[in-house]
């Protein structure tokens, strides 16, 4: 009985001391995870880039995928010409909030 009581105390104490550490580290943005604010900002950037590409008549928007992570926009999909690859990169790079464009578009 005494042993199980000591084990229980040890578990409770260890959980109480570990809880503040997880609270502080759980909300911090890391290289692979982003905070809620960053996620919202990236969603806004993605929407703006998609709208800008959609507004460009020379690009086929349904074939271009846009993803954003911490301000870095990645373009992927297929386009008809090398000029379209370049144009899509330029359009994405001109959007406010875009830090960098990774242009992975392929010509079919």
Neighbours of 58 (CB within 10 A): 12
Q: Quick one: tokens of 60? A: 């086929």
CA-CA distance, 22 to 26, in Å (whole number)?
Answer: 5
Quick: pLDDT tens for 35-74.
Answer: 777 777 999 999 999 999 999 988 866 789 999 999 999 9
Per-residue pLDDT at 24 exceeds 50:
no
Classified as helix, coil or strand, 24 is helix
Q: Which residue has the higher pLDDT, 29 or 64?
A: 64
Query: 79: which 2 tokens?
Result: 């386009």
CB within 8 Å of 13: residues ≥ 6 apart: none
Q: Tell me which residue of 66, 77, 61 sits closest to 42, measured CA to CA.
A: 66
Query: Taking a C-beta distance cutoff of 8 angstroms, is the pair 96, 76 a contact?
Result: no
pLDDT confidence bin for 32, thresholds 50/70/90: low
- The β-bridge partners of 65 are 76
Residue with tokens 């349904």: 62
d(CA 41, CA 52): 17
- CATH architecture for the domain at 29-107: 2-Layer Sandwich (3.30)
Higher-confidence residue: 101 or 61? Answer: 101
Mean pLDDT for the chain? 81
């Amino acid at each position: 009985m005494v042993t199980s009581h000591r084990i229980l105390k040890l578990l409770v104490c260890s959980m109480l001391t570990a809880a503040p550490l997880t609270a502080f580290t759980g909300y911090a943005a890391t290289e692979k995870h982003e905070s809620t604010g960053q996620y919202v900002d990236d969603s806004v950037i993605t929407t703006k880039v998609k709208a800008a590409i959609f507004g460009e008549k020379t690009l086929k928007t349904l074939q271009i995928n846009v993803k954003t992570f911490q301000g870095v926009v990645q373009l992927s999909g297929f386009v008809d010409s090398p000029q379209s690859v370049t144009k899509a990169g330029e359009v994405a790079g001109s959007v406010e909030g875009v830090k960098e464009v990774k242009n992975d578009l392929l010509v079919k």
